[in-house]
Structures are given as structure tokens and as C-alpha cells.
Amino acid sequence: MRLSVLGPPGSGKSTQARRISEVCGLAHIYPGELLRLEAQSDSPLARRIREYLDAGQLVPSDIVFYLVEREITHSFDRFVLDGFPRTMTQVLELEFLLSKRNAKLNALILLEVSRNEIMRRLLARGRPDDTQDIIERRIDIFRRETDAVIQFYRQAGILSVVDGEGTPDSVTRRILSALGIESAPPIIHVKETKNTKHISP
């Protein structure tokens, strides 16, 4: 099984990606964590990563994808990608990598959370960089970057839009239901549109 979980800031995507990886026995591939772990080593790549991080710059996409590719190679094609792919460049890189392995994504889960709920969750963390203006910009950046990604996987017929509000347990059950996992409890309401499943409690 090869999955991806996407969602705006505060959607709980990392929590859900980790939960799904544990339930389904999949490798949890989180690019941000891969960068942090690699930066702690003493490899030439680690030194390059630290240079970007210390300068407050984004790590180039080719480095990020190299780390993701390495994890996919070690995963025996059983993985859940956490917040990846986020751009069309990453989509094309991922699709090419999987095609070389005669594989493809089975599903992309998009967690849908209202702007007000995102704001409530992130402001409740009390972090200095979680101001209303910054959160609004992060949400807008996510929407702008991922719009084409979402449309690509919708057309591919593997996009499931899942209600990300409620308790973590309830969101996990919705995701499992979207994936057709038998252990998931029945859901109350499922509304389907062409190539897209909308799941709510």
C-alpha cells in the first residue's frame, strides 16, 4: 500500500499519517523529520542541509526528494507520505520514481479543516510564530501550492477528501473507511462526487 496524506497547517496530517502507518504497517515518510535527522549526522549532505537551515532558507527540492526516494526504496513499497508531494514538481518526480518501480500511489488523503478551526488549533499552541497573520499566510500558501496537486490526483481517481475535524480517533476511522480497511467502523454518511469521496461523520 502506497499512500499520501495532505492537509493545511493545523489539519493534523502528521498525527494521522503516523496513526495510519501504525495501523497498516507502513513506513511513515515525513520529509521535515528526514531533513532534521540527516542534518544531525556528519555527512557532506548534512553539512549542505545545515547551511540552508542556518541561513533560514528552504532546503532545495532535489535534496528533499533524494531523502524521500531513499526512504521509499527501503520501505518495500509500503509507505505513507506525510505532506508530500506538495508541488507539481514533486508530483512529477514521485510519479517517475514509482513508475520505475512499476508502482503508483494507491490513495491521496486530503484532510479538510475549516479556516476557523485551523486558526483555533494553531493559536492554542501558543507559539510566538503562530500569529493570526502568519497562520493566514501559511494557509494561503498551502492552498496555492497544492491546488494543482489535488486536481492531478482527483483526475487520477485516487483522491479522497476526508473531514479532518473532531477527535484524532474519529478522523482516523474516517481515513480507514476511505481506504476500505475492514477494521474501520461504519460511517454515518458518505457523499461521493466524480473521482472524489467526501467523508463526514
CATH architecture of the domain covering 2-30+78-200: 3-Layer(aba) Sandwich (3.40)
Q: Structural domain boundaries of the chain?
A: 2-30+78-200
pLDDT in tens, 25-46: 999 999 999 999 999 998 899 9
Whole-Å CA distances, 196 to 20, 38, 70, 144, 155: 20, 36, 30, 20, 9
The pLDDT value given to residue 57: 87
Which conformational region is residue 41 in: left (phi greater than 0), alpha (psi within -120 to 50 degrees), or beta?
Answer: beta
Whole-structure pTM value:
0.86
Confidence of residue 120 (pLDDT cuts 50, 70, 90): very high
What is the arithmetic mean of pLDDT over 156-167? 97
